[in-house]
Amino acid sequence: MAHAPHLPSEAAPDDAPPSSNKAAIGILMLTIFLDLLGFQNNNFQYQFSEAPVIVTDHSGNERGIPATAADARGTIVPKAAHIRQINPRAGQSDRGAEVHPLKLMLRRGVTFGPEMEDEPDAERGLIFLSYQTSIVNQFLFLQSTWANSANAPASVGRDPLIGQDGSSNPKRTIKIPDATGRLNVCPFHGRWVVPTAGGYFFAPGIEGLRELSRHVLIAQASPEPEDLSQIKGIGPVFLKKLAGLGITRFDQLANLTEDEVEKLDDDSGLVKRARNEDWIGQARELVRSFRA
């Protein structure tokens, strides 16, 4: 969580439309603006130019996405800019362009607190959320190694938006090139983002979610346990082990795949016994007999 300065905006009139209408009007205005402006290429790579692209809309009309000029020296998007420090794309950095895609992450900022004109002294700021495979190699790297460094990914100063130097000194400098590419030191006042709290949370991957959902479905489909000792080879010991694995019904046993059987393997010989005496086949026969 971080606090950021909030720029005051004009108060909404009393007859302002509901928020849903505001969103619809905003989308409409943006659509009209983009239609007048034409498409823009967001696939710029800094180090080299991008050729124009022709696309066809749903009506069969062709429209052009214009070419994007190279910006290796940072005269269009300065190397000190937040967007370029956090994602150098194909541009130069202290690590090399080949590692840049490995640092990308999904992120979103969510504002909180009242408008400045409503409550000037109230708590307000931004909750920053990001999803990544590795906290160390993505979020922590981007914040600590690049944003907080005056010399990385390029030697142009700390990230002017989120860069931290460990002090409360509001005096900062960044280097901005002029039209010739010559770097000029530009001082500015203020710490734009002040971190106040944070946390790291684990989210299971797709395979983990699938496995979790499988167990949930098994639990929902198996409200009452059945007597698996009707299957030859399943005695009190293996009954207890199967129950500990969440298998208490014939249909559960009958529907096990070979991969799932492998995962049941332990030192008790359960898998060997299940295969030798064909527990799954016996369970399928019993299920068919119940349904007949």
Using one digit for the tens of pLDDT, what is the confidence trace for 195-207?
A: 899 999 998 888 8
Q: Quote the pLDDT of residue 127.
A: 94
**C-alpha to C-alpha distance for 246 and 261, rounded to whole angstroms:** 13
- Per-residue pLDDT of 249-270, as tens digits, reads 898 899 988 888 888 776 778 8
Q: Residue 5: is its pLDDT beyond 50?
A: no
DSSP class of 150: S
Q: What single string gives the DSSP state of each residue in 208-276?
A: HHHHHHHHHHHHHH-SS---GGGSTT--HHHHHHHHHTT--SHHHHHT--HHHHHHT--TT-HHHHHHH
pLDDT of amino acid 260 = 86
Which whole number is the average pLDDT over 30-59?
73
Reference 272, options 248, 229, 227, 238; nearest CA is 238
pLDDT digits (tens, 9 = 90+) for 174-192: 999 988 888 999 998 877 8
pLDDT band at 62 (very low <50, low <70, confident <90, very high): confident
Model confidence band, residue 20 (pLDDT cutoffs 50, 70, 90): very low
- At 39, the pLDDT band (50, 70, 90 cuts) reads low
Average pLDDT of the segment spanning 156-178: 90
Name the residue with higher pLDDT: 13 or 147. Answer: 147
Q: How confident is the model at residue 155 (pLDDT cuts 50, 70, 90)?
A: very high
What's the pLDDT at 23? 56
Residue 79: name the closest of 159, 139, 186, 141 by CA.
159
Q: How would residue 65 be classed by pLDDT, with cut points 50, 70 and 90?
A: confident
Lowest mean pLDDT among 177-181, 207-211, 221-225: 221-225
Find the distance separating the first CA and the last CA of the chain, reported in whole Å: 61
Res. 14 pLDDT band, cuts 50 70 90:
very low
CA–CA separation, 133 and 219 (whole Å): 30
Q: Which residue has the higher pLDDT, 79 or 213?
A: 79
Residue 108 to residue 176: CA distance in whole angstroms: 27
For the chain, which residues make up each domain, given as ranges? 2-7+18-195, 225-291
